[in-house]
Amino acid sequence: MSQQSLHAFYEPNLRLTRAYGLLGYNAGYAQNRSEGSFDQHQKDLVWRLIGNVPITPESTVLDVGCGIGGPSSWIFERFRPARVMGLEFCPSSVRAAERNWTGKASRPYFIHGDAHHLPFPNDSVDVIFNLESALHYSDKNRFIAECHRVLKPGGTLCLGDICTRWRRTFRCFEMLDNVAGQFSTQSHLWSPDQYREAFDANRFELVRYEDVTQGASDSLYGGLMMIGKKGWKAAKGFRGRFFYLRFVEWLLRFRLMSYDLFNVVKK
């Protein structure tokens, strides 16, 4: 996915987050669609993905596909690890993440980079966090191999992604990728089984798996209802994104797509 396409796709998300004071734009996780704020649901999805993975004051954590820095910031504030680094392919998102920590001495750090070529030494990271980003990667096997390279022995990859077992169903939408716009997702969706096979091929051990499709769908529904209450005029600048996310929520609700969480350990 080119930087131009990625910027065009995520620009409405930046406008939406600024309008509502949000620090992230993942789907979130809700136990009940009518309870809790969308901001809290996004944090809950982060904690759900991390689960019982140990993050200590000595840990180095890498957030690949960090977006505007929400999960990186929440992980830093909750666990206070030695180092949190966020890597993001879209320069405008890196700048937005940096602005949230301007002038602070103790903070996560954000850099521009490509998930297919992680700019870190071998065996240098304790935990890699990757949430709702790998769906854009054209070569997921390369990314997973890179994670294995930079993780320390016994280190953990926490990966959460939108998946599908109906890949042929989505081929008709690929024509939208020919034009750089907010609906040009450049998505390369895998099934959960493909992820399991790739983890095994790259010498990872699967220690935890969870399907959180219902919770993600309920979270998106609640967030969209919050936005909808503000009215059409208030949605200026991200109206198209509202309907796009509504379609994603519908696909999750009827399980044409799933939301899957994996914790895998480098053998």
Mean of the per-residue pLDDT values of the chain: 89
* Residue closest to 208 by CA, chosen among 52, 75, 65, 72: 52
In the predicted model, is pLDDT for residue 172 greater than 60? no
CB atoms within 10 A of CB 57: 8
Burial of 111 (0-12, 13-18, 19+ CB in 10 A): middle
Tokens 């051990």 locate to 205
Percent of the chain with pLDDT over 90: 64
**Do residues 49 and 129 touch, judged by C-beta distance below 8 A?**
yes
∠ CA 92-110-37, nearest 5°, is: 75
Pure H helices in the chain = 3-20, 38-50, 70-79, 91-99, 140-150, 192-201, 213-228, 239-253
pLDDT category at 186 given cuts 50, 70, 90 is low
| Residues constituting the chain | 267
Q: What is the pTM of this model?
A: 0.92
pLDDT tens digits for 218-252?
999 998 888 888 777 767 777 777 888 899 999 99
Q: The CATH number of 3-266 is which of 3.20.20.140, 3.40.120.10, 3.40.50.150, 3.90.1300.10?
A: 3.40.50.150
* Whether pLDDT at 163 is above 80: yes
CA neighbor of 34 nearest in space, from 224, 261, 239, 211:
224
User: pLDDT digits over 71-123, tens only?
Assistant: 999 999 999 999 999 999 989 899 999 998 988 989 999 999 999 999 999 99
Q: Which residues pair with 265 in a beta bridge?
A: 156, 205
| Residue 76: both structure tokens together | 């830093």
**Backbone phi, then psi, for 233, in 5-degree steps?**
-65, -40
- Crossing angle of helices 213-228 and 239-253, in 10° steps, is 150
Nearest residue to 125 (alpha-carbon basis) of 75, 61, 180? 61
Say how far residue 13 (Cα) sits from the centre of its chain. Answer: 13
